[in-house]
Amino acid sequence: MPDGDGLAATGPGARAGADARRLVEAGALLVMVAWAANFVIIKGAIATVPPIGFALIRFLLAGLVLLVILRRREGSAGIPRVVILPLTILGGFGFGVYQVLWASGLTVTTAGTSALLVATTPIWTVLVAVAMRTEAPHRARFLGAVVGFAGVALVVAARGLSLAGVGDLLTLSAAVCWGSYLALSAPLLATLSPLRLTTWAILFGTVVMAIPGSLQLAAAGPAWVTPETLAAIAYSGIVAGGLANVLIFRAIAVVGPSRVANLQLLLPALAVLFAAVALGEPVLAGQVLGGAVIIAGILIARRAPAGPPPGGRRVPEPTPLMEA
């Protein structure tokens, strides 16, 4: 007959733990749906709202929401002085420059293509991490990068050379920014929680967007202020930008970053599907094939063993967020 420990391992406590894991994974899956829908919602909104102006309002709102959540969950909202400068640079680059490039690119490319190109983020994260010696070089990482870039070529070639090619280039540059942010922010996770790091990175990134975004909004006048655009900003800032990150942090804490990162492979397919239904964007064979090749490249790169090279710095694994 099992002893008390055995009962605990297979009894109500174990079942409650399994239920909790299923619940947070369901929450993470809902986040993937919310982020995929966000591509479509923003694509529709920037037909009326200037793209950088939209990003400015969205991330200002998201940063303030996360600041309140941070204070309630961790008891304080500040950051140590020693990390202010590196976090300002990272936030300005990872959120500010990223959003300027991504939002601008989305005006002249499709939401589905944008999602597929942003899906290359893990490849860029790996390459930057290897360059910075926080990940060991491994042939699987380089092979994954090559396969991923082949997928990018298929996605871009699917619609031929046009003005959309400029949007694709801007979007791909945005993915480089975001992948670099994830790789370079990893050392800061030794002293900051993911929630605290993300909150302040967003706020510092908002500063970068302040001037171009404000100029765009001023030039557009008040015509963009409609119930539809305000609802899009609220969804994008509060749901996709604020609450979704809280659910992701919870899922990472319970089931681990790798499991959450695997769920992100659903994002491109969901975004392409939503864009086809909501915006009437065509689903091209080259997009489907290219998206599958990109995902294959990511999976190949993930087969490399984790850990730094000899003499390299060991740092915590960065939060595997794919921000839209």
Averaged pLDDT, 103-122: 87
Residue 54 pLDDT grade (very low, low, confident, very high; cuts 50, 70, 90) = very high
Q: What is the model's pLDDT at position 74?
A: 93
At residue 13, the pLDDT reads: 62
pLDDT value of residue 44: 92
pLDDT for residue 250: 78
**Is 251 among the domain residues?**
yes
**Does residue 307 have a pLDDT over 70?**
no
Half-sphere exposure of 4 (CA within 13 A, CB side): 0
Query: How far apart are alpha carbons 138 and 106 in whole angstroms?
Result: 34
**3 pLDDT above the threshold of 70:** no
Q: Given phi > 0 = left and psi -120 to 50 = alpha, else beta, which region is 282? A: beta
Question: What's the pLDDT tens digit per position in 132-154?
Answer: 776 777 788 788 888 888 888 88
Please state the pTM of the whole predicted model.
0.79
Task: Tell me which residue has tokens 């801007």.
Answer: 170
Distance CA 111, CA 271 (A): 7
Mean pLDDT of the chain: 83
Nearest to 158 by CA among 170, 173, 168: 168
Residues 269, 117: Cα–Cα separation, whole Å: 12
Q: Over the range 57-90, which residues count as b (16 or more CB within 10 Å of their CB) and which as e? A: bbbbbbbbbbbebbeeeeeebebeeebeeebbeb
Q: Is the dihedral of CA 307, 308, 313, 317 positive or negative?
A: negative
pLDDT at residue 257 in the model? 64
Within a domain: 123? yes
| Residue of higher predicted confidence among 319 and 19 | 19
In a domain, 1, yes or no: no
> Which residue segment(s) compose the domain that 51 sits in?
24-301
Task: Give the range among 158-162, 191-195, 303-307, 315-319 with minimum mean pLDDT.
Answer: 315-319
pLDDT > 70: what percent of the chain? 85
* Bigger pLDDT: 52 vs 6: 52
Q: Is residue 323 part of a domain?
A: no
Any domain includes 3: no
CA 65 to chain centre: 17
How many structural domains is the chain composed of? 1
Q: Is residue 204 part of a domain?
A: yes
The answer to whether residue 12 sits within a structural domain is: no
- Span 154-207, pLDDT tens digits: 887 876 655 557 888 999 999 899 888 888 887 888 888 888 988 999 999 999
Check residue 324 and give its pLDDT.
56
Other CB atoms within a 10 A radius of the CB of residue 113 amount to: 30
Q: Work out the average pLDDT over 7-30.
A: 72
pLDDT tier at 12, thresholds 50, 70, 90: low
| pLDDT at res. 298 | 81
The stretch 38-66 carries a mean pLDDT of 92
